[in-house]
Structure 1
Amino acid sequence: MGATESQPKKRIVLLGKTGDGKSSAGNTILRQQVFTSKASANSVTAECVSGDGKVDGRKITVIDTPGIFDTGLDEETIKSEIIRSLIESAPGPDVFTIVLKVGRYTGQEMEIVDKIVEYCGDDTFKHSVILFTHGEQLEGQTIEEFVKQSPKLQELVDKCGGRCHVIDSKYWKKRHMGYKSNRVQVKNLLDTIEQKLKDNENACYTNELFQTVEEEIQEEMKNINEDSLPLIEKREMAKKIVHKKLLIRLAGVATGTLTGAFLGIGVAVASVVALLKAANIPGVVKAGTVAGAAAAGATGIAAAGTVAVEAGLVAGSGIGAAGSGIAAGVFLGAAALAGAIGGGVTGFKAADEGDSVSGAIKNAAKLNYENAKGAVKKAQKHQYKLFKKEESTMRL
């Protein structure tokens, strides 16, 4: 058995816009048809899908995400698939592969580059590579020469440490040697990923949100009383359970904030994690005595955080949302409703002061996160008092 047999699978997450060839790129990397791809003005990948394979002696998992930088999918679908992407990638991807298309980069094409720069945290770029598709459009240039023609593209590649490759899923399939060979280019891509991991001491990209999701998966695996099931099947069952639970807990979080948390904007990560932790605090859920954990959206894409309202017993099961473009979530009791509205107002005001998507997310999440931290501490203190009271009663 070779050394590569014992190595864990490398998790490669594909990010990009509808029509730029994410799904085709995934198939090209894996050398098999795993992902549905076709020429379409609409997004083909409407849900997060993963595929496993072994390429050049390396075991890899490729995770194809929906177009989280697009507006074609409805908010709830995007939210569900970002959560699924978090679960599929946990405890964190080894690399984000940002998929772009070779072609003319005018105003519309630059929008996706701007969005990527806006949403990704600096640490995300340290764990990213750029993969261009439609390499035949280079017309004799190298991909490095093509990138140099656009300052914005060059800036993005520089943010990713110069890691940049190109494939062509239509014209470069059959050649096994030379620049215009997918086999050569994919090998180069995987070599770059290996080198990046060595530079990062073989650490994958992760943050507190990915770690929290992984803990949830591990906990659910323990609860599956099927000793005969292989671990991989237990994990798949656990992931489905966690997906349903997170959809409920994060019902009120704006898609922009989830995207920011997934891609490493620090305050967005902290805000979502605070909400998840608040929702895990045990307590009794009764109408009028619930402190609702609330996430709020503003301007349809940005602003979220968590606010808990002090009203008797604290239980983070009331989840709500308020803000332009975001549907209301689940409200349990008058206090939860108040918490949701409060979170919405706070989020909207903070987001409105932001001068960019990232700024809006950071402003709103920071304010609501600070409120959430205090609420979680109060909830924990309250639970401790209840515990001590129950302990004293038992002694009597």
Structure 2
Amino acid sequence: MGASESLQEKRIVLLGKTGDGKSSAGNTILKQEVFKSKASPESVTVECVSGDRKIDGKKITVIDTPGLFDTAVDEETIKSEIIRSVIESSPGPDVFTIVLKVGRYTGHEMEIVDKIVEYCGEDTFNHSVVLFTHGEQLEGQTIEEFVKMSPKLQELVNKCGGRCHVIDSKYWKKRQMGYRSNRVQVKKLLETIEEKLKDNKNSCYTNELLQMVEEEIQEEVKNMDEVSLSPEEKREIAKKIVHKKLLIRLAGVATGTLTGAFLGIGVAVASVVTLLKAVGTIAGAAAAGASGLAGGASGLAAGASGLVTGASGLAAGASGLAAGTVAVEAGLVTGASAGIGAGLGAAAGSGITAGIVVGAAALAGAIGGGITGCKAADESDSVCDAIKNAAKINYENAKGVVKKAQKHQHKLLKIKKNDKLE
């Protein structure tokens, strides 16, 4: 956990699915229309949006994330907004507010609850509260009584330490007193957040990914020469720069992995952080990568020691490269996830064709593939360019190594033949 920037500022991240009233909840908390909200079967929030307001002398920032668990928005848009959510939340939110709707929970609604449980890490729940919307549907019940009727909802609330509240953006907004008053319920919600922060020793939720992103933002701010800009303006510019960089470098990472990394799933955090660390150390690794590629022939020369499998291995490599050629020419490239199995270096490449992972990673080594992939990402203007450039560069590098390997194999066979004659 990391220390909150200021005890007077609170960052609240809204999580939930399409149609459950996240944006309306954000407006209710801030007591003003900041987030676009309307009744729709499709997600209104397709971008990560934040808004803030001073409430009782404290700055409250609410970050409305896109419908991460159920949305019709395309993969690349959602990926971009997950990255933006990480950036907006860094160095970490004080609380995640899981927004659900009071109503009849069918199989589909229960699937969403399962997804929330699946994607959120234990420390995420330790910094979470459940906020139900459409409170008028309680029909005289308390929210605690409603939750008890569903074992899965009760399990989710229990994971959040029993912290749950309820609002109704339509019917309760004018009432000043009593249980069915947004004013009363929002006050209780903010009190719950304050109490939980005290329990957490005034530390916000964070993980290694959020910390790395915060460091990148601060580095960009430090590198700015514009003295006329305020610290807030510099930070906003820095966030946009970091967003573009991360979007390119994480081009091949699956949306689910990014969501899991944001919400503290250990394996997902480790995968994304490892990839970003590889990119961060590219300058030092580039020399080793180049040396590895240049020494491809020498590595293959060790065939007698079992490092080369002979003609069949080279044939397999050639087949992989042939497949890579077809993939590059057809524009069919995989993401970084396709290279993870080939090792850290391959994963660091923003996009490597499946054929190249088979052929090039086996011959040139995973590190060489990763280095060129990272270079391609740094030199690209878009995610699509990053993927295609990495694929083409890795293919060219691998092709050169295979030529050297074939030449050396021919030499080995010739020596072997001469030995037999003697």
Contact 1:7–1:59, Cα closer than 8 Å, also in 2: no
Amino acid across the alignment from 1:251: A
Alignment counterpart, residue 317 of structure 1, candidates 375, 382, 385: 375
The alpha-carbon deviation at position 108 of structure 1 amounts to 1.2
Kindly state the Cα deviation for residue 106 of structure 1 after the two structures are TM-superposed: 1.7
CA contact (8 A) 2:338 2:347 kept: no
The residue that corresponds to 1:139 in the other structure is: 139
Q: Which residue of 2 aligns with 1:20?
A: 20
Structure 1 letter corresponding to 2:32: Q
Aligned residue identity for 2:375:
S
Q: Does 1:306 align with 2:347?
A: yes
Change (3 A) 1:113 1:235: same
Residues 205-214 or 307-316, more deviating: 307-316
TM-score under structure 2 normalisation?
Answer: 0.71
Match of 1:389 in 2: none
Provide the rounded CA distance (Å) in 1 between the counterparts of 2:282 and 2:124. Answer: 34
Larger Cα Rg: Structure 1 or Structure 2?
2
2:196 corresponds to: 196
Normalising by structure 1, we get a TM-score of 0.76
2:412 is matched with: none
CA RMSD in angstroms, aligned pairs only:
2.9
> Is 306-315 or 32-41 further displaced after alignment?
306-315
Q: Match of 1:356?
A: none
Task: Give the letter aligned to residue 231 of structure 2.
Answer: L
Matched, 1:84 2:125: no
Aligned partners of 2:102 and 2:89: how far apart in 1? 27
Three-state SS of the structure 1 residue aligned to 2:203 is: coil
What does 1:50-65 correspond to in 2, within 5 Å? 50-65=50-65
SS of the residue corresponding to residue 228 of structure 2 reads coil
Q: Say yes or no: does 1:157 pair with 2:214.
A: no
AA aligned opposite 1:181: S
Task: Sort the Cα spacing of 1:230 and 1:114 in 2 relative to 1 into closer, same or farther, 3 A.
Answer: same
Structure with more helix by fraction: 2
Per-residue Cα deviation, 1:290-323 (whole angstroms, up to 9, x for no partner): 99x962169xxxxxx935613399453346xxxx
Who is 1:105 aligned against? 105
Mapped contact 2:251–2:335 kept (Cα < 8 A):
no
Supply the distance in 2 between the matched residues of 1:111 and 1:313 (Cα, whole angstroms): 37
- 1:332 matched to 2:373: no
Give the superposition deviation at 1:168.
0.1
Secondary structure in 2 matching 1:53:
strand
Aligned length: 322
Task: Supply the AA of the counterpart residue of 2:206.
Answer: T
Q: Supply the distance in 2 between the matched residues of 1:312 and 1:297 (Cα, whole angstroms).
A: 12
Deviations 1:252-274 (A, max 9, x none): 10001000000100111011011
* 1:41-85: CA deviation from partner (whole Å, max 9, x where unpaired): 111011000001122333110000000111411100000000000
C-alpha contact 2:102 2:138 (8 A) present in aligned 1: yes
| Residue 295 of structure 1: aligned partner | 336
The answer to whether residue 268 in structure 2 is matched with residue 227 in structure 1 is no
SS of residue paired to 2:347 = coil
Deviation at 1:147, TM superposition (A): 0.1
8 Å CA contact 2:347–2:370 kept in 1: the answer is: no
Residues 333 and 144 of structure 1, relative CA distance in 2, 3 Å threshold: closer
Q: Do the aligned residues in 2 keep the contact of 1:91 with 1:206 (CA within 8 Å)?
A: yes
The AA in structure 2 aligned to 1:306 is A
Do the aligned partners of residues 235 and 327 (structure 1) sit closer, same or farther apart at CA in structure 2, a change above 3 Å counting?
Answer: closer
State whether residues 165 and 189 of structure 2, in contact with CA within 8 Å, keep that contact through their aligned partners in structure 1.
yes
Alpha carbons of structure 1 residues 193 and 330: separation in structure 2 relative to 1, 3 Å: farther
Equivalent residue of 1:224, what SS?
Answer: coil
Aligned partner of 2:42 in structure 1 is: 42
| SS of residue matched to 2:140 | coil
Give the C-alpha shift of residue 280 in structure 1: 1.8
The 1-side partners of 2:187 and 2:395 are apart by 54
Partner residue, 1:167: 167
CA distance in 2, matches of 1:184, 1:56: 14
TM-aligned CA distance change 1:166 to 1:297, over 3 Å: farther
Q: Percent identity?
A: 74
1:148 aligns with 2:148: yes
Q: 1:53 to 1:313 in 2, by over 3 A?
A: closer
| CA deviation string 1:113-170 (max 9, x = no partner) | 0000011011100000000000000000000000000000000000000000000000
CA distance in 2, matches of 1:66, 1:24: 13
Pair 262,227 (structure 1): closer, same or farther in 2 beyond 3 Å? same
Which residue identity lines up with residue 197 of structure 1 in the other structure?
Answer: L
* Distance across 2 between alignment mates of 1:297 and 1:31: 46
* Structure 2: segments with no counterpart, 5+ residues: 1-5, 294-333, 340-345, 350-365, 378-383, 398-422
Tell me which amino acid in the other structure corresponds to 1:234.
K
